Structure 1
Amino acid sequence: MSGLRAHVVVDRPRFRVDVALDAAAGETVAIMGPSGAGKSTLLDALAGLVPLNGGEVAVAGRTVERVAAPRVHTPPMRRGVVLLGQDPRLFPHLSARENVAFGPRATGAPAPQARADAEAWLDRVGLGGLGSRMPRELSGGEQQRVAIARALAASPRVVLLDEPLVALDPVTASDIRGMLREQLVGVTTVAVTHDAGDAVALAGRLFVLEAGAVVQSGPVRQVLGAPASAFVASVADMNRMPGVSARGGWTDGAGRVLVSADAGSTALAAEDGIALAAVFRPGDARIGGGAGVNAWQAVVVRVEPTVAGTRLHTSAGVVDVADAAAPWSPGETVWLRIEPSRVRFVPVA
């Protein structure tokens, strides 16, 4: 039985959110998209905090929201869905233990049992022995751990994560990401994130939203490895050059011509004129050489020091070089090239 099946239609001031989403029981799916794409609106609608203008939501096989007759609207607290956001939103007047015990007690669990279960959950999220502390006595990372324990202690059928790690430092975020991966096993989860690392670590499938619609979906690594839009390319740290198929290869309006050694590349079987994007990693591009296939001119826009060397942002792609004292300057013209084995052609969203 499906853990979550939804078609969410919500009218917003600038566009309509119209998203079909599914997650099998126990599966984690990730949602990515630029700011304003409708990600938080989607989660709020699934949680029952925003009314639908169309569609329906089913949790564990039970319809909890439907616009068409017979209309169904289940209050948020009765859906079996919990929403965890960037702000832990702990009850400031309750201890960590009582915050976690709140959900079970609200559903009728005896206070001693609820508190015992809360202590067990605090131990599972790495806060054993801190149950008596008040939220103000906890760090931001510890507060987020309490919020996660509180959400899971309520035995939800679906957990919605709205970028709960975004406000944490990298080390704390990494620790909590690992804890989430362990604690969410068997729990149907929808995780909104801006971080490709979160998507890879937590989810099996990825849905990409832009302007309220799904523009790409599939296994996480497959989507990130074949970005169909500029946004996906940016989060996957890939170069993406729009163009069209041409004679078994790729070309664009500037006359650049690329070929690929990827046997599965869409362009190799496409008729001429099909919209495709050439994608490749900054570390796979090279500087030097001259005119020819898989080589093109570009103007250096910005030179950025990195831990591994230097990143050159150019008018036609980003290139990583190992030299920390790269001899190029903004405004300089350089030749870029890419080996056929390092470039792929993917459909344009």
Structure 2
Amino acid sequence: MIVAAGGGGDAVAAAMLHAALYGDEDFGVILTYAWDRLLIDPIPGPRGARDFTGLRPITPTVSAVPAEARPIAPAGSTLPLLAAALPHTFALLDPGQGAVGITCQLEELISHLKPVSIDLLDVGGDILARGDEPTLKSPLADALTLAAASQVNAPVRLLIAGPGLDGELPPDELRPLLGPLVHTLTAKDVGPVSSILEWHPSEATAMLAATARGVRGTCEIRDAGLLVPLTDEAPRVHEVDLGQALTRNNLASALRDTTTLNEAEAHSREICDFSEIDYERNKAARLKGQKPVELDAEAALSQLDRFEAGARSRGVTHVTFRRITAAFNLSGSQRGALRQLLMKSRPDQYDAPLWRVTTTS
């Protein structure tokens, strides 16, 4: 069983890592949030079981999300699509009852499944944040799973894949915190999720897959244009002592006795000086009522030339499609159309699943 610490792309990475570590005979269970942010889900915060139809109960508090499940409109979720594309069982992690509720879900699932191993996986490493880092953007989901995993009556192995790839903690800060090397991902490991990376919006997992395929350089991500190094360290997976991670993560330590998501948010505001769900609420309010900018092919390619010229001046070799979409002031729903246009017009610049910036104008 693998617990995707932050949901979203961590669930895709969990499927990739499961095949690499455990083979493809027993596909196992991936326990993950339905928390796809505003790129997929227009409603701020995570989705719970009440937000879906067609779930399949596993235990009293845990349900599987099969391919036929559907989020109740206007909510959105990538989990049914993942279930349709992959052989794993995706079980829904619901943070509505805080860390206490997540602990109960973990314990029920462990008692029911009796898994031979339990891994808690985080892509990037922000699960190791203290909480006061200026680059920290989304600590709450990871802190909740860390707080819960530290309380279950079973051994849990904490794994960090792609140190620094989430753009939240720099690799130099993460490096001394990492334990033994568990695996270095390769192009073969990416194979099972290749088709998913063509549409899934996760930037950290996209860069993890790209570096596993040998891509190196500097990638620009998010609407803020953060720079992330794509190095030989990026496709590595390290074990980290879970107890030491909890001691370091002030937010996770504070969340252990929380029984509601609101309570967890309050701790995040106190310790980190913000709640990522507040950020989503504010962004959703800004986007409400905005009319999408029409995608004009000729104008978009001209804008791409100007964008790449600026990116080269910043030392950027690659960008995510999410970054290009934001830079072009397009909505998340237009990301797919923009991606198709660029790949059709300039296919040689596609370093799957990233976009390679041309070296000359």
Shared fold (TM-score, shorter chain, > 0.5) = no
Larger Rg: 1
Question: Which protein has greater RCO, CA pairs closer than 8 Å, 6+ apart?
Answer: 2
TM-score band by shorter chain is under 0.3
TM-score between both structures, scaled by the size of structure 2: 0.26
